[in-house]
Amino acid sequence: MSMIKPPKLKKGDTIALISPSSGMAAKYPHRLNNAIKFLKSQGYKIKEYTSTRKNKGWESASAEERAKDVVSAFLDEDVNAILTTIGGTVAIQTLKYLDFNKIRRNPKIFVGYSDISNLHYAFYTQAKLVTFYGPCAMVQFGEYPRPLKYTVEHFNKALKFAKPIGKIRPSKKWTDEVLDWSKKLDLTRPRKLKHNKGFEWLREGKAKGEIIGGCLSSIVHLDGTKFWPSYKNKILFLELPEGQVFDKGEPLPYVDWYLAQLDLLGVFEQIKGLIFARPFRYTDHEVRMLKQKLIERTKDYDFPILFGVDIGHTDPQITIPLGTQVLIDSERNVFEFLESGVR
């Protein structure tokens, strides 16, 4: 089956806010309220569902209720796009309760990142729907005093125009600063931005193919399930979340473990290129070690590796239409989307 593209986003459209994983919207309502205020200022209407502001430990609600909200948002005739409030660890629990035939028959824009990767993979494999790896409401659109311009521009490029995004330029500045939401320190000042060094090629080359990927520690949990896709001739992108300590990055031994797992699964043998995001809360030493491990774990292959792209858990970030054609070319220092994600 060919990939299905949802209709583009227009001013006046309704955006559904759902919480298919964590219940952080209940703990930190000011972040969601900030996001809603911004989205409304952009001309959108907002609709919430039963689990959007619920909290049940590390879940927003039961897996069944979260899955029901996902399907309901796709079936809702008033809704044009679906935006997740935040990630978490339990989006994977919803997959067995989703009706993918209904979702495929009602294609809509679906956006999120982190463990929302599990839903992206499910929609890709089971519904052949183009979805979007990009901002979550609370994290990016709830930013004080307003969302970062680069994030908003790339969100609009991906969702509002039925034409290719084109070449991706690195952001001029970036941040992974953590301001404690529980103390509302995030309302006291904007986060500090650092100079961005730009993209780096860990291995040179040129490749074109369909882009797929997500949060590394989330997608590896789908190994052996029907939601694990074919990576043949794909351009794979990977990004890293926070670790178990929220203001620290994913421990490097875990990252190395997951990379070895991808190798054993034959993923590196199948792909044509690899894009790796700028890591979250890594020291300069950890960044050097990560780059070394990426080269080591892929030493048996010759595909190009682009490192340090604005994806995922650092800000700002691009919005990626999954399942569309992209080009990476080290000679011209190019990362380019060749196909639109909406119609």
Pairing of strands 234-239, 45-48: unpaired
* Upstream peptide bond of 170 is cis (omega within 30 degrees of 0): no
Q: Which CATH class is domain 167-337?
A: alpha beta
The answer to whether 309 and 199 have CB atoms below 8 angstroms apart is yes
Pairing of strands 273-277, 305-309: parallel
The answer to whether 76 and 83 have CB atoms below 8 angstroms apart is no
pTM of the entire structure?
Answer: 0.98
pLDDT for 245 equals 86
Q: Which two tokens stand for residue 133?
A: 């790896």
pLDDT for 212 equals 98
Each residue's pLDDT tens digit in the chain (343 positions)? Answer: 689 999 999 999 999 999 999 999 999 999 999 999 999 999 999 999 999 999 999 999 999 999 999 999 999 999 999 999 999 999 999 999 999 999 999 999 999 999 999 999 999 999 999 999 999 999 999 999 999 999 999 999 999 999 999 999 999 999 999 999 999 999 999 999 999 999 999 999 999 999 999 999 999 999 999 999 999 999 999 999 999 888 899 999 999 999 999 999 999 999 999 999 999 999 999 999 999 999 999 999 999 999 999 999 999 999 999 999 999 999 999 999 999 999 9
Rounded Cα distance between 318 and 196, Å, is 14
φ, ψ at 193 (rounded to 5°): -105, 145
Superfamily of domain 14-163: Murein tetrapeptidase LD-carboxypeptidase, N-terminal domain (3.40.50.10740)
What is the residue extent of each domain of the chain?
14-163, 167-337
DSSP state of 281: T
Domains 14-163 and 167-337 agree in fold:
no
The answer to whether 3 and 129 have CB atoms below 8 angstroms apart is yes
Number of neighbouring beta carbons within 10 Å of residue 266: 11
pLDDT for 40 equals 98
119, amino acid identity: L
Q: Which two tokens stand for residue 218?
A: 């989330």
244, amino acid identity: Q
State whether the Cα torsion 83-89-92-93 is positive or negative. Answer: negative
Q: Which of 292, 248, 301 is nearest to 273 (CA)?
A: 301
Rounded Cα distance between 21 and 269, Å, is 32
